Amino acid sequence: MSEWDDDIAALDMSDVEKNGLQVYRNYTKAFERNQAKKFAIEVNSESHDVSRLSKVCDAIASDDERLVPVIACAFADEALDEMYKREVPKGIPGGRDSLFSGYGPFSSLSKRIQVAYAFG
């Protein structure tokens, strides 16, 4: 196959192995592009209120640079809290409120970040 990417062509492998790598790479890129297109369509299908984000950006630009992490974390904390409260279905055993209070998985910013990271 003469249509390998340069880095794959340079590998010391058989043509069959190179073909397999190239096919895997091509499919991976195609799936990533398709996922990005679907995301863009979904984002564009709804209107988004960016006024709060605009205020946060203004605060970051105008306040002392030492406050930037505090402002950014506070914004992320509120955004994640709102998103989880909106997306977590009703009817959770033990109640939804237990997830957001005390030792629940959504009770603090660090826990919210861990859950967000776990689900990509």
List pLDDT tens digits, range 61-100: 998 999 999 999 999 999 999 989 888 888 888 888 888 8
Across 26-35, average pLDDT: 96
29: pLDDT strictly greater than 60: yes
Q: How confident is the model at residue 5 (pLDDT cuts 50, 70, 90)?
A: very high
Across 28-48, average pLDDT: 91
Q: What is the pTM of this model?
A: 0.57
Phi and psi at residue 57, in whole multiples of 5°? -65, -40
2: pLDDT strictly greater than 90: no
Which of 1-34 are b and which e, b meaning 16 or more Cβ less than 10 Å from the residue's Cβ?
Answer: eeebeeebeeeeeeeeebeebbeeeeeeeeeeee
Q: When comparing pLDDT for 72 and 1, which is higher?
A: 72
pLDDT at 66: 93
58: pLDDT strictly greater than 70: yes
Q: Residues near 83 by Cβ (< 8 Å), separated by ≥ 6? A: none
1: pLDDT strictly greater than 50: no
